[in-house]
Amino acid sequence: MAYPTTGTISGSLLLTGASGFLGQEVARQATGASRPIQPRRWPLIWGTWYSHPISGESDLLRTAQLDIADRDAVLDLVQRVRPRAIIHTAYSKIAGRASLITGMGTQYVAEAAWAVGARLVHVSSDVVFDGEAGPYDETATPAPVHAYGRAKAEAEAAVQRWTPDAATVRTSLICCLDPLDSVSGWVVESLRQARPITLFTDEIRSPVWVQDLAAALLELAGNAFAGVLHVAGPQSLSRYDMGLRLAAHLGLDPAGITPGRSRESGLRRPRNCSLDTSLAQHVLRTRLRSYDEGFVQP
């Protein structure tokens, strides 16, 4: 992989975590390879990866291996590419790495964006909240209850500190039918293998379809919205209700799904993290479909 010389490329988009589930869909849409919801505005997309190389480089897509936790590497890449916008999707939930990658890594990306004057769109999460007072709007104060939530809250603070004009996108469970997202895949495989599973009835989220979220991120990369925006589906559902709907759509017997309660599990997890998405529906042209709509409008 050869970097361009400083200043060679103008108007490019830098996408961190481009080998991830969300990052891949953003790259597909940005290059026009997946449902062109909006005109392609980026003459070149740079996608970064760390442990899973990206295949399919082209005249539109270049790739670069990048350790988000390496400040010098982040600053060097951004200085060389000098993107007009950065969509930051890279993160880690691994114990002991969440703060370093998700927290500090985001600070380095924000610092680099500030240094070159790039537009930053940062992907955050509904788990910055404790889940005791949902649904949450953009004015709600983060109060995370686990390491990943704390790392995401740290990341939000860093973005605000370095790039106050950035868009911080809080989202929820990211879903896809083809291919199945990891959680849906686990549910489907368990049902097909007749392995009983328990899904919580008191963990409420606002699931979003990956195609809609990716389109919204690209839209935000090209506009001037600043601040926090809740970009998720308009339908709040428990994990249990989502499992039943998924099984029904695929013609699977839901009898293997047992309802349970997070409150009684002994686990420290946020429960009702549902998001109020009324601002996003006002700000964005991108339509955010409900979980149910995604089954009939793929």
Domains held by the chain: number: 2
Write down the pTM of the prediction: 0.93
Helix (H) or strand (E) holding 72, with range, is helix 71-81
Determine the structural domain holding residue 77 and report its residue range: 13-174+208-235+274-290
Same domain (yes/no): 119, 22: yes
Number of other residues whose CB lies within 10 A of the CB of residue 141: 10
Predicted confidence at residue 1, as pLDDT, reads: 39
Confidence of residue 298 (pLDDT cuts 50, 70, 90): low
Which residues share a beta bridge with 125? 171
Is there a domain that residue 181 lies in? yes
Tokens for 50? Answer: 């760390």
Tokens for 48? Answer: 């970064």
Same domain (yes/no): 154, 279: yes
pLDDT digits (tens, 9 = 90+) for 54-67: 887 788 999 999 99
Same domain (yes/no): 196, 144: no
Cα 109 from Cα 38, distance rounded (Å)? 26
Same domain (yes/no): 131, 195: no
pLDDT digits (tens, 9 = 90+) for 82-128: 999 999 999 888 767 767 889 999 999 999 999 999 999 999 999 99
Among 242, 276, 93, 293, which Cα is nearest to 170's?
Answer: 276
Cα 243 from Cα 256, distance rounded (Å)? 10
Same domain (yes/no): 30, 157: yes
Cα 153 from Cα 144, distance rounded (Å)? 7
pLDDT digits (tens, 9 = 90+) for 202-223: 999 999 999 999 999 999 999 9
CATH number, domain of 154, equals: 3.40.50.720
* More confident call, 235 vs 43: 235
Same domain (yes/no): 119, 180: no
* More confident call, 164 vs 59: 164
Same domain (yes/no): 193, 220: no
Same domain (yes/no): 126, 231: yes
Is there a domain that residue 269 lies in? no
Same domain (yes/no): 126, 153: yes
Per the rule left: phi > 0, alpha: psi between -120 and 50, beta: everything else, 194 is left
**DSSP states of 194-257:** T--EEEESS-EE--EEHHHHHHHHHHHHTS---EEEE-S-S--EEHHHHHHHHHHHHT--GGGE
Confidence of residue 10 (pLDDT cuts 50, 70, 90): low
Is there a domain that residue 281 lies in? yes
